[in-house]
Structure 1
């Protein structure tokens, strides 16, 4: 017996020792699937195809976007110009000297540059003078172009975005007395980025094929390098950087892995000693977003709201009345759990049919699960029976029956009285 007990103990110890590493691996996998901590104060990742928000950190906070502004500038330029167009530098444009081409070569008013090279200068090198050149060439004046930017923002549904200039500079060199800066949110910027990314010209310029390229002014080439440190790595196929005092270090990234496109936004990260913090933040949220799995938002059977229905007590006639009916789900609803979706996700009944009689009987209906930019149909039930309507109006129905009975009794009495009088008259006649 002692030998058997010893063998059992040894077997148990061996099993524990073999399973322990597996348990540690499972724990590590679970930890890796949790949302990452990043330095950036605001961030978001969005599925380009569906518009779903996968990761979010303070994505509704309005911040300065710095040079990520140039995605909007480039989008409007691409929509209004062609690659072969030739642009002319003006005195106004050459007043812009911070991070500009005119710091690398002597550019004079009247000098020319192609639209293709202008796009490269703005999106790859982030040249501010050429951003203003874009604005003048499309809008006639910079002010007109800024109005176009704000109009485009409204068209795209960017409700928390306001532009003051086409570059993202926080001190506008053409209007230094203006203390207002461009403002947007990570969510709005992601939507703007998707719109820009869907433009073939913009997408081509920011791609890895243009990591190192040149632009030509007056026949002289200027070598420019992409400021995107993630370009070509781990599925990054493009992006736009931005750095300013209020904005901190910003980056919009475009990723493609396994045929799935994701846009990332990080705002107000710290520049750091190496200038890589924002790119490391981006890599973290991109990796998380490609591995994230949806969780249950609401379960089948959960009550998700109510709906006000109208009806007439006698179905086709009578005074119109209103009744509130609870709505429950018939299926589980999955979502990416994050602070943005938790605050904005909803399940509603949006059908125009609000007739209580036709919806009574606990009929299955289509509901809409939605977050900003994304929606899907889900099955649910409006919990209302015909008996609920009858109970609600029971006193009215009883009163109606009593009135009907009284009317019938009166009619019977009147008929009897009439018949009695007729018989009496006949007797007198005979």
Structure 2
């Protein structure tokens, strides 16, 4: 990204109940070691700000098992958002995809399911065959898809993650960390639609056939903890019991990750403690929803002269319960010398929220729509129009 300039086009103060505890929360020390005693690593974050509320061995590299599918689902949602994939598109199952072991929805070679059905198979049933079928549809092969997964992890700045497959099946050199998994879930959950899948406790595939298949969510907290609507469990003999969970209450969404719990009961109990802690101690105040127009940027040699910039994710300010202040400043930084073509979702600016001169959070602003490069005819007409108006 080229050097950004600060456009004080949008520096506005408004009054909302915001916390003085934000800075302290950014480096929140473990509040209670007993929250997670029976797991190798753990983390608790608030989704919108990414603030860490609890941490234990967060950068330890460990096998993530089927939590790997969080990245698989993220790339599916990216493809949907970019218009490269549609929910009703039918995907044909290859021999290779159908051969996956472990958790599966028992796809047969040549069987077709819609993207919607396969996503349910991944999110609810943790189907390895469904994950590979989608990987092949998006990238052409699982190997190429894994390259996309690792590229995405690198783009996100994740340093403790290397993927070897799209499923989480045991593979040498396949690892992640509690911190990285939380960041993947944070990115995935910017797509509100994904919780329609991850938050469903049970569903059916192949309905109205003699092969009706019952899906039951491997994340039991979806049913038993109010507000939990994702994201993904994981288990192998090496990884033990893992879970990346998310819950939303009173407008605040948090993400809790556990690696290496000895039993599913202890995994769920510790996740529950983390969620209880977050909701009892913190609150968030939503500022913007995802895809809200914040500013505009000029486009050189484009079919359009400028592009609308929108929020790339929901934006909130985190508070300790009971603490509040006012006068939050909004500063928009715009990328300079932007030339067409630009793609929908391309980062072209940054939104910064400040309080008393201190930065509370920073979030990317992205192009709302693609802008194609103008033809010589478009540029000639534009020049002629400008000449006529000035005459």
3-state secondary structure, aligned to 2:243: strand
Gaps of 5+ in 1: 1-32, 172-178, 295-333, 337-365, 377-430
Name the CA distance, whole Å, in 1 between partners of 2:282 and 2:87: 42
1:113·1:217 contact (CA, 8 Å) conserved in 2? no
Q: 1:56 corresponds to which residue?
A: 55
* Aligned-pair Cα RMSD in Å: 2.5
Shift in Å, 1:152: 0.9
Aligned to 2:44: 45
1: distance between equivalents of 2:116 and 2:36?
A: 39
Between Structure 1 and Structure 2, the one with more helix by share is: 1
Q: What is the CA distance between 1:282 and its match in structure 2?
A: 0.2
Aligned match of 1:292 = 281
Sort the Cα spacing of 1:375 and 1:98 in 2 relative to 1 into closer, same or farther, 3 A.
same
CA distance in 2, matches of 1:204, 1:75: 14
State the match for 2:194 in structure 1: 202
TM-score after normalising by structure 2: 0.61
Which residue is equivalent to 2:238?
246
- TM-score, with length taken from structure 1: 0.56
Q: How does 1:137-286 map to 2 (within 5 A)?
A: 137-171=137-171, 179-181=172-174, 183-207=175-199, 210-216=200-206, 219=209, 220-232=211-223, 233-271=225-263, 275-286=264-275
Alpha-carbon distance in structure 2 between the residues aligned to 1:96 and 1:127: 9
Q: Secondary structure at the match of 1:231?
A: helix
| Greater percentage in strand | 2
- The SS at the match of 2:206 is strand
Residue aligned with 1:118, SS? helix
Residue 290 and residue 112 in structure 1: after superposition, are their counterparts in 2 closer, same or farther (change >3 A)?
Answer: same
Partner SS state of residue 284, structure 1: helix
Structure of higher RCO (CA pairs closer than 8 Å, 6+ residues apart): 2
Cα distance in 2 between the residues matched to 1:70 and 1:293: 29
Instruction: Give 2:125's aligned residue.
Output: 125
CA deviation string 1:51-80 (max 9, x = no partner)? 110011111111111101101101112222
Counterpart of 1:237 in 2: which secondary structure? strand
**Cα gap change, 1:53 to 1:335, in 2 (>3 Å):** farther
The 1:95–1:53 alpha-carbon spacing in structure 2 relative to 1, beyond 3 Å, is same
In 2, distance between residues paired with 1:153 and 1:180?
15
Deviation at 1:369, TM superposition (A): 7.3
- Deviation at 1:211? 1.0
Which structure's CA Rg is the greater one? 1
Residue in structure 1 matched with residue 387 of structure 2 by the alignment:
none
Quick check: 1:99 aligned with 2:103?
yes
Distance 1:121 1:293, change over 3 A: closer
Does the residue aligned with 2:165 lie in a helix, a strand or coil? coil
> Does the aligned pair in 1 maintain the 2:162–2:173 contact within 8 Å?
no
What is the CA–CA distance in structure 1 between the aligned matches of 2:108 and 2:64, rounded to whole Å?
30
How big is the shift at 1:293? 6.5
Distance (Å, rounded) in 2 between the aligned partners of 1:143 and 1:44: 30
